Structure 1
Amino acid sequence: MFAATRAQPIANVLSTGVQARNMGTLREIQLRLNAIKNIGKITKSMKMIASTKVSKAQRAMESARTYGASSASIYKNANTVPLENEDKVYIVSSSDRGLCGGIHSSVAKATRRLIAEDGSSSGIVVLGDKAKNQMSRTHRGDIQLSFNQIGKAIPTFAEACAAADTIKTSGIKFDTATIIYNEFTSAIAYEATPINVYSPEAMKAADAFAAYEMDDEVLENYNEFLFANNIYWGLVEGHASEMSAKRTAMENATKNAGEMVDRLTMTYNRSRQAAITSELVDIITGASAL
């Protein structure tokens, strides 16, 4: 009679007690472990894809830098300065893609800082949906124009020309356009940097501009070229920074996934060993009671 009364609780423990809870925990850990392993495979693949894109983006960036430096030199050599009571527009260069850390936040923060320092602006033009979403939080009413479908591939000069022409024909009046982009510093570093593009009136008012001896029509065409060329410079440089940041982000994500897999594997093994030990204790206790 004593053995019969002890056998019933042991059977209940084996069917609905600690073993069931441990097995449920083991299943949850195993499911999470498999999910993290799959995520690690995806991030590793994305890192490899970003690595191949970085080299192409850097080659395009080096070419764009050459033309961009030439464009900036004419303002420097002519001693071009902003006009008094000028109208200013800010052009924020980003893309539509994410999964690249805080690279889009950097240009948005830099733009807000420049606007706060200047005190006023005639408007904001945003290249890319990521920066548009961030600028809309604080300067929704100042955004006059935005572009999307940016970042899928390496930007081309034709795309920059189309953007510059759209800005010119949209009715946005400005004497100085400040393009904020992410300057590629190294494979793991970038910095939000502004480029100033001046109007033909500001160039005419420069001290040393008379040495160039340009007609008004030639100056107008050349100014449009400088505007498009600097937009192209900002887009390509930002694209290279984005691909590098995406590779770094995916590398860190893959590393973190591996560390989580190691920790969960250890937890799974410990939980499994504890469940087996508990089952053995129950079996021995039941056998002793019988």
Structure 2
Amino acid sequence: MLARRTLALSKTAPVLATPANARNMATLRELELRLKSVKNIEKITKSMKMIASTKLAKAQRAMNAGKEYGAANAELFNNAQPESTPKRQLFVVISSDKGLCGGIHSSVSKATRRAIKENVDGESAVMVIGDKSKAQLSRAIPKNLVLTFNQIGRDIPTFADASAVADLIIKSGVKYDVVNIVYNKFVSVVSYESDTKHVVNEQGLKESPGFKAYEMEDDVTKDLAEFALSNAIFAALVESHACEQSSRRNAMDNASKNAKDMIGSLQMKYNRGRQAAITNELVDIITGASAL
């Protein structure tokens, strides 16, 4: 009985009308907050673009100097090809600890996964420089991951960084016939591509036809293999660092342009909503004055 009476009262009770401009005002407030947020993001991306542009110039100079190490290594191993195909391969993946730089991390991760699938008959151990590619490869190939490095290349990489990495690789106890260094190759300021450097071990140098023609002591070949590995890692580190700064600059430039376009669109919507609210208020005022 009480429920019926309540229902009857609810049907006869007057419905409170919502102000016509209530929704417009809420929408305008939301647009205003979003517009302010996008403007703040634009300021941040512009600042990051300027910083990356400054770092890119330094990174390119370091890359040009470091390429001489890579050229010397390439000349060495062109004459030191092993007679048999190496089965135990070690992949050293070079990325960085920082993000907001496009697809440089996924580029080397994909190249590593493809190379491991091709090496179906041999062993493939993976060592990663940088936390970003480490996170990607630990999900894709966790069984192959044996060693990781971080806090390398926060600034321009040095030969001391490369030597420390090479020393840890040698002391890790991982057996390999060849080291495949997977890195990003600098093509231009706006493009890069994944590439691989190959470095054979001490035994591979001894057995190569180019080195069999000379009589060398064991210590000489061992030191040469270790020094060549450091050279190759250093050349790849500085080139990857230049690619990272270039990609971050381009990413922040694109983000700034997108923010600018979004600001223009939101500003137009805000102006239209504000104009509509003002027009409704004027209509209400004129209607009330006419009624009086």
Q: Distance in 2 between matches of 1:231 and 1:68?
A: 9
Q: Which residue of 1 aligns with 2:169?
A: 167
Can you give the 5+ residue segments of structure 2 that lack an aligned partner in the other structure? 1-13
Equivalences, count = 277
The answer as to 2:176 corresponding to 1:156 is: no
Q: 1:185 to 1:285 in 2, by over 3 A?
A: same
- Kept in 1, the 8 Å contact 2:83–2:208? The answer is no
Q: Distance in 2 between matches of 1:46 and 1:212?
A: 54
**Matched letter for residue 187 of structure 1:** V
Q: Distance in 1 between matches of 2:200 and 2:115?
A: 17
Q: 1:212 to 1:259 in 2, by over 3 A?
A: farther
Q: Which residue of 2 aligns with 1:91?
A: 92
Residue pairs, 1:57-206, within 5 angstroms: 57-78=59-80, 80-81=81-82, 83-84=84-85, 86-119=87-120, 120-206=122-208
CA RMSD of superposed structures (Å): 1.6
- Kept in 2, the 8 Å contact 1:182–1:237? The answer is yes
- Which protein has the bigger helix share? 1
Structure 2 counterpart SS, 1:190: strand
Q: CA deviation at 1:72?
A: 1.4
Q: Which residue of 1 aligns with 2:6?
A: none
Give TM-score scaled by structure 1 length.
0.92
Q: 1:154 to 1:212 in 2, by over 3 A?
A: farther
Structure 2 counterpart SS, 1:18: coil
1:38-60 deviations in Å (ceiling 9; x for gaps): 10000000000000000100011
Q: Distance in 2 between matches of 1:278 and 1:212?
A: 94
Residue pairs, 1:219-258, within 5 angstroms: 219-258=221-260
Q: Which residue of 2 aligns with 1:38?
A: 40
Structure 2 counterpart SS, 1:272: helix
- Kept in 2, the 8 Å contact 1:182–1:190? The answer is yes
Deviates more, 1:147-156 or 1:98-107: 147-156
- Kept in 2, the 8 Å contact 1:83–1:202? The answer is no
Percent pairwise identity? 54
Can you give the 5+ residue segments of structure 1 that lack an aligned partner in the other structure? 1-8
1:6-46 deviations in Å (ceiling 9; x for gaps): xxx9xx87xx5122221111111111101101100000000
Q: Which residue of 2 aligns with 1:6?
A: none
- Kept in 1, the 8 Å contact 2:183–2:194? The answer is yes
Q: Distance in 1 between matches of 2:51 and 2:85?
A: 48
**Matched letter for residue 117 of structure 1:** E
**Matched letter for residue 171 of structure 2:** T
Q: Distance in 1 between matches of 2:24 and 2:83?
A: 72
1:120-178 deviations in Å (ceiling 9; x for gaps): 43310000000000101110111000001133201111011111111111111101010
Q: CA deviation at 1:211?
A: 4.3
Give TM-score scaled by structure 2 length.
0.91
- Kept in 2, the 8 Å contact 1:83–1:175? The answer is no
- Kept in 2, the 8 Å contact 1:164–1:227? The answer is yes
Deviates more, 1:24-33 or 1:45-54: 24-33
Structure 1 counterpart SS, 2:62: helix
**Matched letter for residue 273 of structure 1:** Q
**Matched letter for residue 57 of structure 2:** S
- Kept in 2, the 8 Å contact 1:127–1:148? The answer is yes
Q: CA deviation at 1:92?
A: 0.4
Structure 1 counterpart SS, 2:126: strand
Structure 2 counterpart SS, 1:184: strand
Deviates more, 1:252-261 or 1:117-126: 117-126
Q: Distance in 2 between matches of 1:85 and 1:248?
A: 39
Q: Distance in 2 between matches of 1:155 and 1:116?
A: 31
Structure 2 counterpart SS, 1:208: helix
